[in-house]
Structure 1
Amino acid sequence: MASVNLKLFANLREIAQTSSLTITGDTVMDVLLSLVEQYPPLNELIFEQEEMKLRGYINVFLNGNNIKHMEGLDTILNDGDEMGVFPPVSGG
């Protein structure tokens, strides 16, 4: 299993009361499932409950690249990867 530095932004960070944590997993999905297991209120913000897929407005980046341009939730992780989870943000 890979050890990944996970960064949370905006309201996700506020709910978890942390901006970063280390989580292990083989895939992006593994890490996100571990995250919502540790912080259950994040589950409904990150996943569509019926299908356990990412909500359309959530963006996940792995080492600066959007996982939508990779293998999505099945993207394989390596030790030391940096993953960021971004909810929608507005402002000016």
Structure 2
Amino acid sequence: MKVKFYATFREMVGRKEVEVHGVKTVGELIDYLAEHYSPDIKRELLETPRVGPNKPIDGMILVNGHNVLHLKGLDTELKEEDEVHIFPPAGGG
């Protein structure tokens, strides 16, 4: 699958897009990216104070244009032909 990164995640990975194979869920994808590219990705998405029962991801992950928070969250299933977009948390006020 194609995984595209935006803003600070693009800087962490050092590229705007990677190909990933063999992961079955969004949670597995995050673990894979943390292991192969940067552990900061997992920290930024899953381990901030803003993450909780009603908000399992800090930032936005889209699978084929659909926000995973409106699907099955970290358990959202992935297929080889999917396109995933990963955005960091929005700042500002």
Q: Partner residue of 1:40?
A: 39
1:32-80 Cα distance to aligned partner (Å, 9 max, x none): 110011112323212217x8x422xx10000001011111110111121
Alignment gaps of 5+ in structure 2: none
Query: Equivalent of 1:23, from 12, 20, 25?
Result: 20
Structure 1 residue 86, shift from structure 2 partner? 0.5
How many residue pairs align between the two structures? 85
Q: CA deviation at 1:90?
A: 5.4
1:79 aligns with 2:90: no
Q: Does 1:68 align with 2:66?
A: no
Distance 2:41 2:77 in 1: 22
Percent identity over the alignment is 30
CA contact (8 A) 2:30 2:41 kept: no
Cα distance in structure 2, aligned partners of 1:20 and 1:29? 18
Cα RMSD for the two superposed structures? 2.2
Q: Name the TM-score, length of structure 1 as normaliser.
A: 0.80
TM-score (norm 2): 0.79
CA distance in 1, matches of 2:80, 2:41: 24
Richer in strand (by share)? 1
